[in-house]
Amino acid sequence: MLAFLLRRLVSLTVTVWLATIVVFTVLQLVPGDPALLMLGINAQPDTLAALRSQMGLDQPILTRYLHWAGGLARGDLGVSLTYARPVADLVAERLAVTLPLSLLSLVLSTMLALPLGLLAAARRGRGSDWAVLGFAQLGVSMPSFWIAILLILLFSLTLHWFPAGGFPGWSAGVGPALQALVLPALALAVPEAAILARVTRTAVLDTLGEDHIRTARAKGVGRMAVLLRHALPNALIPVATVLGLQISFLVAGAVVVENVFTLPGLGRLLYQAIGQRDLIVVQGVVVLLALFVVLVNALVDIACALADPRPPATGNGGAS
């Protein structure tokens, strides 16, 4: 296990390092002069030169990368040229929206997917199974921003149950804040729940064919007890793996959904920074999102290894 943890740590470090190189290089290759775009075409040459020097654009690209990466290692994400504030402060403020939104959508997707997957596995080939598979196919086919628009039309403009957008802030109370996050979280949760429901169904069906399940049935264990006590716990490892991978999709989907609902989260900050060509904010936010995804995937791998510590099977060279 120690060797496995060391390998994961090395892999994590290399992945994050490569992510910083890719993010920095891609943003540096974007056409256009960020300083000129920020000041406008009528900017004076000396003002433009001063801003380019402040942004470090007059230095070689390798020097700029090393300076930026060194700041990252110290926890310094730089200072936003648009907001004139440290990027770390901007990120901390926006996390107060994005983090609860992601957690709520993760909870909703799990609460939807596990019962539906169990129901489909328990009634394989019947109407409820086909209904769950139909929901899964529909959920995968619909992008989160389209689901968000449909939810606004139904629950905000027609039923008036939830606000169509905006965020009152946690200072207004937990109730109003959560009410503003329900529809965005549901828009993110439906596609993920569709995928997770199919994975749960497949994993439970595979588990139901194993020997210990047949033994439990032979001993007279009831159908629901077999599903909940024997099949579901053994099927959770592939489900947890997919759940960890879905977090990256939730982060990516939040960029779009937060703009649909005008939520002041990381996704909207990133969108605005791209429009304003604030490369320092874009670099900082994208690297933090990449680091978050890599960390979550590493934690999921470690959790699965702890839950199922059996070594991988190796083939026998003489076997066929």
Q: What is the pLDDT of residues 228-286, one digit of tens each?
A: 676 777 777 778 778 777 777 777 778 888 888 988 988 888 888 887 778 888 888 88
Decide: 198 and 133 in contact? Cβ < 8 Å. Answer: yes
Query: Looking at residue 96, what is its pLDDT?
Result: 87
Phi, psi of 86 (to 5 degrees): -60, 135
Single pTM value for the model: 0.78
For residues 209 and 308, give the distance between their C-alpha atoms in angstroms, rounded to a whole number. 19
Task: Name residue 86's beta-bridge partners.
Answer: 79
Query: Looking at residue 152, what is its pLDDT?
Result: 92
Q: Which residue in 248, 247, 269 sits closest to 97, CA to CA?
A: 269
Decide: 281 and 80 in contact? Cβ < 8 Å. Answer: yes
Decide: 283 and 64 in contact? Cβ < 8 Å. Answer: no
Tell me the average confidence (pLDDT) per consecutive run of 10 residues in the chain, 320 residues long.
76 84 81 68 76 74 83 82 84 88 89 87 83 87 88 90 86 87 91 88 79 69 69 76 76 82 88 81 85 80 66 45
The pair of three-digit structure tokens given for residue 130, joined into one six-digit string: 């086909």
Q: Which residue in 91, 142, 117 sits closest to 268, CA to CA?
A: 91
Query: Looking at residue 184, what is its pLDDT?
Result: 93
For residues 23 and 300, give the distance between their C-alpha atoms in angstroms, rounded to a whole number. 24
In the chain, the amino acid numbered 245 is L
| 206 conformational bin, left if phi > 0, alpha if psi -120 to 50, beta if neither | alpha
Q: How many CB atoms lie within 10 A of CB 147?
A: 21
The pair of three-digit structure tokens given for residue 134, joined into one six-digit string: 């139909």
For residues 39 and 55, give the distance between their C-alpha atoms in angstroms, rounded to a whole number. 13
Query: Looking at residue 308, what is its pLDDT?
Result: 60
